[in-house]
Amino acid sequence: MLTNEDEIWRIVDSKCDAYCDLSDSVWEVPELNYHEFKAASLHEELLRNEGFSVRSRFAGIPTAIMGEAGKGGPVIAVLGEYDALPRLSQQAGVAQERPIVAGGSGHGCGHNMLGAAALLAAASVKAWLETNAISGRVRYYGCPAEEGGSAKSFMVRDGAFDDVDIAICWHPAPFTGVIDPVSLACVEAEFTFSGRASHAAAAPELGRSALDAVELMNIGVNYLREHIPSTARVHYAMVDGGGIAPNVVQARAIVRHMVRAATLGEMWQLLERVKKIAQGAALMTETTMAFKQLSGEANLVGNAPLESAMHRNLTALGGPQFDDADRSFASEIQKTLSPADIRASYVEFGLPVKNEVLSSEIYSPLNGRLTPSSSTDVGTVSWVVPTVQCHVACFAVGTPPHSWQLVAQGKAPAAHKGIARAAMAMAAVARDLFTDESLLSTAKAELHSFRAANEFRNPIGLEMTPSLAMSASK
């Protein structure tokens, strides 16, 4: 139990056990993009038990939910996630690769913890508003499909955040601090080439190979890499190579490309160049090309007033207080990692390399990690609502994201301690926003100023549906 006198922290502490149980329950039922029916149901059940009014199938997405409590005042949203990753099934508490189900899914990015702590924060803020008779509304957004499904971008497009004043989120990590507002805008698309089948030996001249078109496109994109910004990325995967018979000229082939860049503007420009390469490949092979966008996410927009408030609360809280048992298990996990893995953890966060298995320190905002290296659909939210996020230490330093090692630590006591700290930090920032009108107004003014200088184009088009992103994630 906490001995600190901060009321909002005590409320979180009093509710924590039920939400650690929620995290563990979601860990037990890992579900992929847009299929998180059990996880969404578990979150919805707790929302109703806490007295929230709940909307299921929110924004037209079967596994999205929204719970609201309070009256009048500003609307503060806490964003949760609960989707898992494929092929990461792993037993909990075991420091060796040991799948529960061969080829099964697992929570290799800690979203079981993410959703549980976010809901804990929202429930605690609800209780605090009621106890202190403060005007305001708190919402919990259960957001599915962060891993490649871009659900929040669909939600933004459909107006789910139009009346929200501030959004707060977090992510499990090896370190604790404000998340630097750097990420890559991204778009994922399929290029389908159609040609003409023929006997590859008897009549090769009659064939028009869709597979040739895919290969030429990939070669062209690889040559393009020399001429793109250093922060940009293009990845690809073969979806359909046209069959396994080499004596048939392949009449249809599909390749999927993900285009990333530091800003939305750079991303759209780079995507157009990739599309031109695809058109050139079709021209060279006398095939036709069809383009279909599957998902997309904007880059994160920072908000200095909110980041200062988050850092202030994290500093007052301190990092999770791990014990010898936590450090012992983390040490066993570290033995499965290379020195490069451990060093990469520090480098990613712009921190000096130390000899530690679990970290309880609070790192400083904008501490050098200014080069974007990944994408998140929280970025799209941050263009329309002032948004702040924090990292909280939940697992061994050096643990790679999307790894069996992270899944193995997903139900450990260290994870539960991280959940509690994350919820306290987010709830405290929400408390500050409800009681400090200047913080709210300056945060909103900063986003307004940014939007006045930068054009926003949601990377999710009107013609797109979540079902497209769902098919892409399978």
Q: Round to the nearest angstrom and report the end-to-end CA distance of the chain.
A: 43
DSSP string, 152-205: HHHHHHTTTTTT-SEEEEEEEESSBEEPPS---EEEEEEEEEE-B--BTTT-GG
The single-letter code of the amino acid at 128 is: W
Residue 334 backbone zone (phi > 0: left; psi -120 to 50: alpha; other: beta): alpha
Specify whether the CB–CB gap between 376 and 364 falls below 8 A: no
Cα 172 to Cα 140: distance, rounded to the nearest angstrom = 18
Cα 438 to Cα 306: distance, rounded to the nearest angstrom = 11
In this prediction, the residues of the chain whose per-residue pLDDT falls under 70 are 1-5, 367-371, 471-474
What are phi and psi for residue 70, nearest 5 degrees?
Answer: 105, 175
Cα 52 to Cα 459: distance, rounded to the nearest angstrom = 31
Q: What pLDDT digit, counting tens, does each position of 414-466 carry?
A: 999 999 999 999 999 999 999 999 999 999 999 999 999 999 999 998 888 88
pLDDT at 367: 61
Q: Output the six-digit token pair for 403.
A: 């790894």
Cα 320 to Cα 325: distance, rounded to the nearest angstrom = 14
| Residue 311: how many other CB atoms lie within 10 Å | 21
Q: Which of helix, strand or coil describes residue 146?
A: coil
Q: Output the six-digit token pair for 200.
A: 């590859």
Cα 421 to Cα 125: distance, rounded to the nearest angstrom = 14
pLDDT at 370: 58
Computed from CA positions of residues 14, 18, 24, 26, in that sequence, does the dihedral angle turn out positive or negative? negative
| Residue 327: how many other CB atoms lie within 10 Å | 16
SS3 of the chain: helix, strand, coil, percent, to 5 = 45, 20, 40
Q: Which strands sit side by side in the sheet containing 185-194, from one edge to the other?
A: 233-240, 252-261, 185-194, 288-297
Largest CA distance in the chain: 84
Cα 284 to Cα 210: distance, rounded to the nearest angstrom = 11
Q: What pLDDT digit, counting tens, does each position of 44-78 carry?
A: 999 999 999 999 999 999 999 999 999 999 999 99
DSSP string, 84-140: -BTT----TT-SS---SSTT--B-TT-HHHHHHHHHHHHHHHHHHHHHHT--EEEEE
Q: Output the six-digit token pair for 84.
A: 């898992």
Q: What is the DSSP letter of 398?
A: T
Q: What is the pTM of this model?
A: 0.95
What are phi and psi for residue 329, nearest 5 degrees?
Answer: -65, -40
- How many helical (H) and strand (E) elements, i.e. helices and strands, does the chain have? 14, 11
Specify whether the CB–CB gap between 19 and 419 falls below 8 A: yes
Specify whether the CB–CB gap between 75 and 373 falls below 8 A: no
Q: Which of helix, strand or coil describes residue 298?
A: coil
- CA nearest neighbour of 32 among 146, 118, 171, 169: 146
pLDDT at 3: 44
pLDDT at 1: 40
Q: Which of helix, strand or coil describes residue 305?
A: helix
User: Own/partner pairs for 246-249, CB < 8 Å, 24+ apart?
Assistant: 246/200, 247/199, 247/200, 247/201, 248/197, 248/198, 248/199, 248/200, 249/195, 249/196, 249/197, 249/198, 249/199, 249/200, 249/204, 249/206, 249/207, 249/208, 249/209
Give the domains, in start order, of the chain with CATH numbers: 7-183+300-453 (3.40.630.10), 185-293 (3.30.70.360)
pLDDT at 304: 96
Q: What is the DSSP letter of 58?
A: G
